[in-house]
Amino acid sequence: MKIIKLNAIDSTNTYLKEASKNVTLEDGIVVVTNKQTEGRGQMGAKWQSKEGLSLSFSVFKRFDALSINEQSCISFVVSVGVKNALQKLQIPEVSIKWPNDILSYQKKLCGILIENQLEGNKIISSVIGIGLNVNETEFQELPFATSMKLASGNSYNLDEVLQIVFEEVLKELLSVENSETLSVKKKYEADLFRIDRVSVFENSEGYQFNGIIRGITNTGKLKVEIENETIQVYGLKEIKMLFS
């Protein structure tokens, strides 16, 4: 693992994106920081991290022949890689909440932000940001957050956790260009949170309804069965799951 360690920075994703414009980054290089002041999640949400207790890092991955139509596969394999790492670390009840939050006991312990760099109709590289709650025991005003320590009862060495998560994510990323989208999607769906169970959703207009997740499309959209066994397809900003 080639690693750049920074004491404090606004965002590890931003650091790698800016660096890639000026120098040729080594494939698989990792930037990790003790303190991230402007960590970002999906749809502009802020990711909160605690110095010395959590991990905030980003991975730069270069691709040779990945079509823009396969962007969702990157999200699939990164989520599966993080899930595999946490299971390897014996974190219980790990699942993937669409599109790429990682849960334990139905609470969020990891967020993922993937930013792809395009050239024509090809993805030439990705910056993959991962925020992982490791040894925190308190989350003020975040009732649905958890950590590895809260989930398992054990404390963890941050460097060891980083190494294992990196290895599992990179292993999945190395296979993505040679894998069929369907097989990648099936691995992702196998641990999808609340698949085939009735859940409450809210659409972009604030309307709440019951539905059943029936899987993911090849482009990463959520398939939800609603009344009369009708399947509706939703993008990231079009729906959210409500649960307590």
Per-residue pLDDT of the chain (244 residues), as tens digits, is: 899 999 888 889 999 999 998 899 999 999 999 887 765 555 455 556 677 899 999 999 999 979 999 999 999 999 999 999 999 999 999 999 999 999 999 999 999 999 999 999 999 999 999 999 999 999 888 888 999 999 999 999 999 999 999 999 999 999 898 888 889 999 999 999 999 999 999 999 999 999 999 999 999 999 999 988 899 999 998 999 986 5
Buried b (16+ CB within 10 A) or exposed e, 215-231: bbeeebbbbbbeeeeee
Same fold? 3-189, 198-242: no
In this structure, are residues 145 and 107 in contact, taking their beta carbons and an 8 Å threshold? Answer: yes
The C-alpha atoms of residue 79 and residue 108 are separated, in whole angstroms, by 13
| CATH number 1.10.10 is the correct assignment for the domain at 198-242 | no
Q: Residue 181: what pLDDT? A: 85
d(CA 134, CA 150): 9
Delimit the domains of the chain by residue range: 3-189, 198-242
Tokens of 4: 């750049």
What is this structure's pTM? Answer: 0.92
Confirm if 85 and 165 have CB atoms less than 8 A apart: yes
- β strands within the chain, DSSP E: 3-9, 30-36, 54-67, 94-97, 101-104, 107-119, 122-133, 198-203, 208-216, 222-225, 231-234, 239-242
> Cα–Cα distance between 219 and 73 in angstroms, integer?
8
* Topology annotation, domain 3-189: BirA Bifunctional Protein; domain 2 (3.30.930)
